[in-house]
Amino acid sequence: MDESNHELEQATVLLLACARGDGTAFQRLYRLEAPRMLALARRLCGDPGLAEDALQDTFVQIWRNAGRFQSGKGSARAWMYALLRYRLINQHRRVKRHDAEALPGDDWPDPGPTPEQCSLEADQRQAMQECLRVLQTDRRRPILMAFYHGLTYEQIADTLAVPLGTIKSRVRTGLKGLQECLRL
Amino acid sequence: MIPDDKEEQHLLIAEYVLGLHRGERAEEIERWLATDSEAARLAVHWREHWVGAAELLEPARLPPRLWRRLARETGLAVPWWRGLWQSTPTWRFASAALLVALVLAVGPLRQPAPVYTVVLQAPGEAAQPGWRITVADNGDLRLTPLTQQAEYRADRSVQFWTLENNAAGPRSLGLVEPDRGLVIPAEQVGGVESGQLFELTLEPPGGSPESRPTGPVLFIGRAVAL
């Protein structure tokens, strides 16, 4: 088992312990997951102070609602990231856009229209990284802008100065490519 | 409106998990996911896959204040005196080492002969003693500044505290004027024991409104028997 998978399982074990009121497990979970969640929050809201507030609110929510997490419906990490993204996306308080900021995956080569060729031997998370890697740049970039910056179709179109219909078409084609690559 | 076409449904779920739908449209999709187990299963898979994209980010350094805030809000914060009480070896070692350095630096201490001494240091700055406490054999306590103290705002007071044991909690020994020492009679000090905690905190004018410190710790140290 690689380190990433070990961490993923560890997070689930710790979250289940939180549901039993284990404060030490909560602190360990925070140390394990909060650094990358803070990085994501900073990307999503563009303001360090708001990102910290959102992270704090999310962890309070995690502590109070740990009992609602069901391990049969995915990993603890996915559940926690979803809480954070949902909170930030619905705040509508983005104060600064990092429009020109490089996104993870920006420098990946454009492989041409063959997203289905990717290997699905790896686990789900690695599979997503591989599938994004082989997605064409003009489809990958607006998708990553939505994921990392929480932008809507309209905001992406505005930022890239591309007509809204074109952006919608690229995103949906890209998502379809990901869906096929991930075999969903 | 949720499309009937399966392919369109899949795309809608992918868009939703990505956060591209907001407001009423998002609420409509959530209601659908709550009733359609196949759609919900697909949403869970998408959510799981997107963790892979989040893992491409370089983890951020967590500011220590963030955990303190979180611990307070969740009720998991440990009272400062309990945390310090648990780190006795560190404090004893630091106090003893500084005591030796001070004795060498300032020479024999004057009469009456002290039975306990405490070196108060700024938290996290063990090499910078700020105040010295000596407790004489008659029980009187003398607090002496070792360095020029920082100027504090006029609307703040510096308060002197001791903690004899966790159960009783901290006890105020009065207010302190920066740069001015003071002597506290034995009856006010009470008994002093080896390892007893002393500290100076910054409080509202006139001192803490509560029976415990409410402001930041300026200097702290433990009693060492001579």
Give the pLDDT of residue B113.
59
pLDDT in tens, B7-17: 999 999 999 99
Provide the mean pLDDT of chain B.
81
Residue-wise pLDDT for A91-100, tens only, equals 754 444 444 4
Nearest chain A CA: its distance from B20 CA (Å)? 5
Does residue A141 have a pLDDT over 80? yes
Q: How far apart are CA A149 and CA A97, in angstroms?
A: 8
At A112, is the pLDDT very low, low, confident or very high (cuts 50, 70, 90)? very low
CA–CA gap between residue B64 and residue B31 (Å, rounded): 39
Q: Between the ranges B15-29, B109-123, B164-178, B179-193, where is the mean pLDDT highest?
A: B15-29
Q: What's domain A115-182's architecture?
A: Orthogonal Bundle (1.10)
Write the ipTM. Answer: 0.80
Out of A30, A125, A175, name the one closest to residue B55 (CB). A125
B168 touches chain A (CB under 8 A): no
Cβ contacts (< 8 Å) between A82 and chain B: which residues? 47
Q: Which range is least confidently modeled, A68-82, A161-175, B91-105, B108-122?
A: B91-105
The amino acid at residue A126 is Q
Minimum Cα–Cα distance from A71: chain B residue? B44
User: pLDDT-derived band of residue B112, with 50, 70 and 90 as boundaries?
Assistant: low
Q: Where are the domains of chain A?
A: 3-91, 115-182
In sequence order, the 6+-apart residues with CB closer than 8 A to the CB of A11 are A29, A32, A33, A75, A76, A77, A80
Q: Which of B20, B45, B54 sits opposite A184 (nearest CB)?
A: B45
Give the pLDDT confidence score for residue A1 in this predicted structure: 44
In this predicted structure, the answer to whether residue A105 has a pLDDT above a threshold of 60 is no
Exposure of A39 in the CB half-sphere (CA atoms within 13 A) = 14
Interface contact B5, partner A, CB < 8 A: no
Question: How does the average pLDDT of chain A come out, rounded?
Answer: 80
Tell me, which fold does domain A3-91 have in CATH?
Rna Polymerase Sigma Factor; Chain: A (1.10.1740)
C-beta separation of A78 from A94 below 8 A: no
* B177 has a chain A CB within 8 A of its CB: no
Q: State the Cα–Cα distance between residues B116 and A30, nearest whole angstrom.
A: 42
Q: Chain A, 147-176: which have a CB under 8 Å from a chain B CB?
A: 147-148, 150, 152-153, 171-172, 175-176
